[in-house]
Structure 1
Amino acid sequence: METQKTNVHFTASELLNPTNPLSVCLIGAGGTGSQVLTALARMSYSLQALGHAGFQVSLWDDDIITDANRGRQLFAECEVGLSKASALITRINRFFGTSWKAVEKPLTAETAHRAAIYISCVDTASARFGIAEALMRIKGSAYHSDLPRYWMDFGNAKATGQVILSTIGNIRQPESQKYCPVGNLPFVTEEFGELLLVETDDMPSCSLAEALEKQDLFINSALAQMGCSLLWQMLRNGFTAKRGFFLNLSDFCCAPVPI
């Protein structure tokens, strides 16, 4: 009896042992994005300790900090009124000695920079479709270290959320006798487009209490830690059998999404 092979995706080879830091575009500096940024800094520092070049991150967000952001997001009282992107990047650079960049504007087809990895932590379906359009337009040479490879999207409701990994185009896979390599993972906007188009309340909150009625206190940090763990495993193990997960924090239930 022939055993069915497990579908896996092998990480793009140039990301595993690069000469220069991997370029990462983090889009959104809110509840999830602020937590993901800290996780990326810890990951970059740890990868460098293991001989990897780490990350060079640009954080994209045109929003400013309000009182409603404090508590759920990692902002201090003295930072109210400042740019979210600049405040977070300044803090990370001082703590870890990095030279990461803040971009105080949204990522669109007109403004997008080329990067190896894109991570979106945005609130609306329109923002996701805009990112998808931008990524489809970005061109890169196979000989460039910043050839666009992956898009990891974080999204959540009040106590539920998901992380979905997509490839930007097809990524060449090695032959394997043990696994069934899969080189193309569809965009979240292609695979879950109808669900994304369901109307949601994305109006800004006037207070922390109002914000907590819309999103639970720990849903963002839970998604950030688990999603970044997927990226960590891809870079450390060189492959993954899962491309994300759906999380229900109310029931403490997590359902992985297989390749």
Structure 2
Amino acid sequence: MQSEKTKVHFTDDSLLNPTNPVMVNLIGAGGTGSKVLTALMEMNHSLIELGHAGLQVRLWDDDIVTEANQGRQRFAECEVGLPKAVALINRANRWSGTNLKAEVRKFERDSLGRIQENMQSAIYMSCVDNVKSRFEIADILNELKEGRRLYRNQAKYWMDFGNNRYSGQVLLSTVENIKQPDSEKYQTTSNLPYVTEEFGELLLQSETQDDTPSCSLAEALEKQDLFINSTLAQMGCSLLWNLFRNGLTENRGFFLNLKNFHSQLIKI
């Protein structure tokens, strides 16, 4: 009797041995996004040391740093009043000698409904706090897929981070079908559905969550606990790292409850 093959997804070849750095659009520079950026810096350095071309990150956020952001988000007192994206990218570039880019605006179409060339990347990582933004990202990715724009960094993956006070989830999706190799050992999967496709109804049900800005750190901690964002960032980026390092994954995400320290894998 033959045992059932393990389902896996093999990483797109263009990410494993690129000639140039892999473009990553990081959307959101708040509690999760600011921590994801640090993880991407560490990943970029490690990949380069392993002979890879590394990552080129573009951070999108139209918000400014407030006093309430200190502590839970990766900002200092001297950065209050600065655009979040600029503060984080300037600090990252000074520290690591990189040339990461900041976009002080939302990741959305322009006033004429057009997608700009700098919105094109191989990987999209969304750390947004509202449902509308996720559906807008999905819509943009679908247009990029349908148009099949022949840029160097064609859209391949979307990793979405989401959370409430004590719990959250990370989900990896493919923008288009990723060609898989023939395998006698594994059952390969070319398509990983969007979070908006698989959990769209749950997202819409959660839309009533209060996302108004907090006036103090104490008020912010009533909405999101101190370490939920950083834990999600580390675990989610570990999943991305494994795509680069191992060339495949059996998991496409996880659910996390930090209150009882329980995590549940989302298998392929």
Into which bin does the TM-score normalised by the smaller protein fall?
over 0.9
Match of 1:221 among 207, 215, 230: 230
User: 1:120: which partner in 2?
Assistant: 126
Structure 1's consecutive aligned runs of 4 or more residues displaced over 6 angstroms after TM superposition are none
The answer to whether the aligner puts 1:181 opposite 2:188 as a matched pair is yes
Match of 2:244 among 231, 235, 239: 235
Asked whether the equivalents of residues 22 and 145 of structure 1 are also in contact (C-alpha less than 8 Å), the reply is no
Deviations 1:227-250 (A, max 9, x none): 000000010000000000000000
State the shift of 1:145 in Å: 3.2
User: 2:220: which partner in 1?
Assistant: 211
Asked whether the equivalents of residues 67 and 80 of structure 1 are also in contact (C-alpha less than 8 Å), the reply is yes
The answer to whether the aligner puts 1:245 opposite 2:251 as a matched pair is no
Q: Which runs of 5+ in 2 are unaligned?
A: none
1:1-259 equivalent positions in 2, closer than 5 A:
1-109=1-109, 110-112=114-116, 113-138=119-144, 139-141=147-149, 144-198=151-205, 199-259=208-268
TM-score, L = length of structure 2: 0.94
Q: Distance in 2 between matches of 1:212 and 1:82?
A: 22
Q: Which runs of 5+ in 1 are unaligned?
A: none
State the shift of 1:141 in Å: 5.0
Deviations 1:151-180 (A, max 9, x none): 000000001000000000111100100000
SS at 1:245's partner residue? strand
Percent identical residues: 62
State the shift of 1:150 in Å: 0.1
Q: Distance in 1 between matches of 2:264 and 2:176?
A: 26
State the shift of 1:89 in Å: 0.2
TM-score, L = length of structure 1: 0.98
Aligned residues: CA RMSD: 1.0
Asked whether the equivalents of residues 9 and 241 of structure 1 are also in contact (C-alpha less than 8 Å), the reply is yes
State the shift of 1:140 in Å: 3.6
Structure 1 counterpart of 2:139, one-letter code: E
Q: Aligned residues, how many?
A: 258
Q: Distance in 1 between matches of 2:53 and 2:238?
A: 18
Asked whether the equivalents of residues 153 and 164 of structure 1 are also in contact (C-alpha less than 8 Å), the reply is yes
